[in-house]
Amino acid sequence: MASALGAIPTVSAATITIMDSSSCGSIGGSWSSGTCTLSTSYTLTSGNALEIPSGTTLVIGASGTIVNDGTITVDSGGVLTIQSSNLDYGIQNYGTLNVAGTANLENTAYYSIWNPGTITNTGTINVKTSGSFGTIGIYSIFLSATQAGVITNSGVINVENTGSTYGIYSGIATITNTGIINVENSGELGIYSISSTFTNTAPGRIDVENTGAYGIDNNGPLTNTGTITVGPAPDAILNQATITNECGGVINGPGTIVGGYTQVSGCAPTGVPEFPISGLGPLLLSAMLLPVLVIMSRRFRASSP
């Protein structure tokens, strides 16, 4: 894996708002018609802030990446585009990333987003990763007691991977969704949650289409009051921990749950009170009032990046 973090422009002012040639030049970029383009990598140090306001696009070219220890804010109407090519990371987020506008990340090597920090999205995050085995669209991870990945989404997160191992990997981290998360992955797992807290709260929706092993591999508490849909995959969900489907929650798709789940009692049935053990029929679980256990013969390969 190549790393290109050599000459990285470093922010020295407390807050920079990219809005003209002067502010763009202060971070080492070139300005043209509302777009600030950097041809190399860029770092924002702790205590500093970078704002991309409405009408401004910040582009990190194919030879660059972002290391964020401060606060990056993409306002509504603003755009952040990272075009990393054959680099380890699109963005390393140790600090805070707030997206109310649009963030586009394309990476052909390893991680598009590596997040031991905090990401709050009320806008749209588009992630495309086209690497091979071991690559991850979004990798949210625990580093220490004071630095563990947190993703809070009330907007839209789109993850589209070709050949990548994981769409989203959450390792001892936290994901809270009240918006929309779409994952299309042709590798091993659509979403891999290991020792993480994963909450999908109504009206939150998670749609996973995966052609690898499992749409969702859950190794931590997953609580759902929204809608989770898992599309074509050999098996829809592998549950190796706890999935709690609370009142109003819907989990559906063509497949099976390996390991079962728990439906909170006292909920009025809203779906089909029967689970398709063969996995050939629709998987609609919101009406189940008792835990379901489905044992499959598939051997699971719990690989890690």
Q: DSSP for 282-294?
A: B---TT--S-B--
Q: Is residue 73 part of a domain?
A: yes
Residues 6+ apart with CB under 8 A from 116: 93, 94, 140, 141, 142, 143, 147, 148, 149
The reply to whether 275 falls in a domain is no
In a domain? residue 257: no
Give the Å distances, CA to CA, from 34 to 23, 54, 126.
Answer: 12, 10, 21
> Is there a domain that residue 247 lies in?
yes
Q: Is 152 domain-assigned? A: yes
Other beta carbons within 10 Å of 298? 12
Rg (C-alpha) for the chain, rounded Å, is 20
β pairing state of 174-177 and 102-107? unpaired
**241 lies in a domain?**
yes
Domain that holds residue 110: 15-252
Q: Helix, strand, coil proportions of the chain in percent (round to 5)? A: 0, 50, 50
Tens digit of pLDDT per residue, the chain (305 long)? 334 444 455 555 589 999 999 999 999 999 999 999 999 999 999 999 999 999 999 999 988 999 999 999 999 999 999 988 767 889 999 999 999 999 999 876 788 999 999 999 999 999 988 766 668 889 999 998 888 999 999 999 999 876 668 889 999 999 999 999 999 877 788 899 999 999 999 999 999 987 677 889 999 999 999 999 988 766 788 899 999 999 889 988 877 788 877 888 667 544 433 233 233 233 333 323 222 322 222 222 333 34
Domains of the chain: total: 1
71 domain residue, yes or no: yes
How is residue 228 written in tokens? Answer: 């989770």
- 3-state SS assignment for residue 21: helix
